[in-house]
Amino acid sequence: MNQRLPDAGALLSTATRGRGTTRNPVGRFEPRSTVAVDDGWGQEPSWSAAQTVVTDEHGKSALTYNQSPDLDFDRTLNPYRGCEHGCIYCYARPSHGFLGLSAGLDFETRIFAKPDAPALLEAELRKPAYKPALVLIGANTDAWQPAERERGITRQLLENLLEFRHPFGFITKSALILRDLDLLSEAARLGLCRGYVTVTTLQPELARKLEPRTAAPHRRLEVIAELAAAAIPVGVMAAPMIPALNDHELEGILTAAREAGAQRAGYILLRLPFEIKDLFENWLHDHAPDRAQRVLSLLRQSREGQLNNVEFGLRMRGTGPVADLLQQRFSLMVRRLGLDTGWPAPTTEQFAVPARCKRQLELF
């Protein structure tokens, strides 16, 4: 059974420098919970450093399929579970509950790498019944997060996709993606690749609090510029938009990204499924106490009185005057900046199963 950090609530506030949350609530599937209490002795928890631990995870498949009608892809590749970037708003946080871990600090510090993913992907692509379609890399957690520097799993997956001439997309907040510029450039030349760089805010101080271990805002704009210079179709994802916190930056983000070379744009209204609601509310009271109630009120106005709405077609955009105004502002800016032009659909015509190399055949 996985060991998890105890829930120390606000006691972690001085012990989690560089982390997105100061809390580690028990997952929703756990029958019991523990709460650390300050007994007045002034002793800090021995686990206060909250070090990152990367563990190998061995799965049965590399591709994850979905049937969501509001997504333009039906399969994803996620080389890692959990994400050290620590974005407080990350909709993937509750997935750690399936491992008996917390959506809080556990999600940021207990990372599970999938070293078998490249081999599993190759086996799936070689199946006679497999039908190629765009696969999105990093849909759940960032495929270029810090663990990738040593593990290199994402790069191996890119090599596999390129070898099979398989179309793919990507979404990231990491400058590490530039390490793989050679593979991405070749894939783009073949019409196989396109992707987005997420820019949540242009304010460095807010970024350090919202998403503490991601690339700084100016660096993400540089990533867009370098991808565009390499002729890789790249767009900007202004997400999540949080009313009364960063939504006023929408026009600035889109303009800066267009100037950097972005060709497309998207946005998502903040989503707060399951445990994230409490984590985000605590984060607001810690980092923006003067605006906390205003932010939560506007979110409820955009989510039919709740803090989240899982209905397809509404979960990404919201409803009501606040959400409608955000949509209008976005539509106006993308038209004005030329970020609403289409880009070529990913091609599947080049997909081909490569012959196994001689070394592999000699094993049989």
Distances (CA, A) of 169 to 49, 75, 217, 316: 36, 10, 21, 19
Distances (CA, A) of 66 to 63, 97, 139, 184, 295: 10, 20, 11, 25, 31
Number of domains in the chain: 1
pLDDT given for residue 69 in this prediction: 86
Within a domain: residue 362? Answer: no
Structure tokens at 173: 């907040």
Percent of the chain with pLDDT over 90: 76
Q: Is 55 helix (H, G, I), strand (E, B) or coil?
A: strand
Q: How far apart are CA 216 and CA 211, in angstroms?
A: 9
Full-prediction pTM beyond 0.85?
yes
Q: How far apart are CA 247 and CA 202, in angstroms?
A: 11
Q: What ranges in 304-363 are assigned the alpha helix state H?
A: 320-337, 358-361
Within a domain: residue 59? Answer: yes
Within a domain: residue 319? Answer: yes
Using an 8 Å Cβ cutoff, are 197 and 227 in contact?
yes
Within a domain: residue 232? Answer: yes
Within a domain: residue 227? Answer: yes
Query: How many CA atoms lie within 13 Å of 124's alpha carbon, on the beta-carbon side?
Result: 24
Minimal CA–CA distance to 264: which of 133, 171, 166? 171
The CATH number that applies at residue 160 is 3.20.20.70
Structure tokens at 330: 């976005």
* 266-324 pLDDT per residue, tens: 999 999 999 999 999 999 999 999 999 999 999 999 999 999 988 887 888 999 999 99
DSSP H or E run through 153: helix 153-163
Residue 221: left if φ>0, alpha if ψ -120 to 50, beta else—which one?
alpha
Within a domain: residue 43? Answer: no
Please give the chain's pLDDT, 364 residues, in tens.
444 444 444 344 444 668 999 788 877 766 666 655 555 665 554 444 578 999 999 989 999 999 888 888 899 999 999 999 999 999 999 999 989 999 999 999 999 999 999 999 999 999 999 999 999 999 999 999 999 999 999 999 999 999 999 999 999 999 999 999 999 999 999 999 999 999 999 999 999 999 999 999 999 999 999 999 999 999 999 999 999 999 999 999 999 999 999 999 999 999 999 999 999 999 999 999 999 999 999 999 999 999 998 888 788 899 999 999 999 999 999 999 999 987 888 889 999 999 875 445 444 4
Within a domain: residue 97? Answer: yes
Domain limits at 251?
Answer: 9-33+50-344
Structure tokens at 284: 């607001």
pLDDT given for residue 81 in this prediction: 96
Q: Distance from CA of residue 31 to its chain's centroid? A: 29
Within a domain: residue 146? Answer: yes
Structure tokens at 190: 């073949």
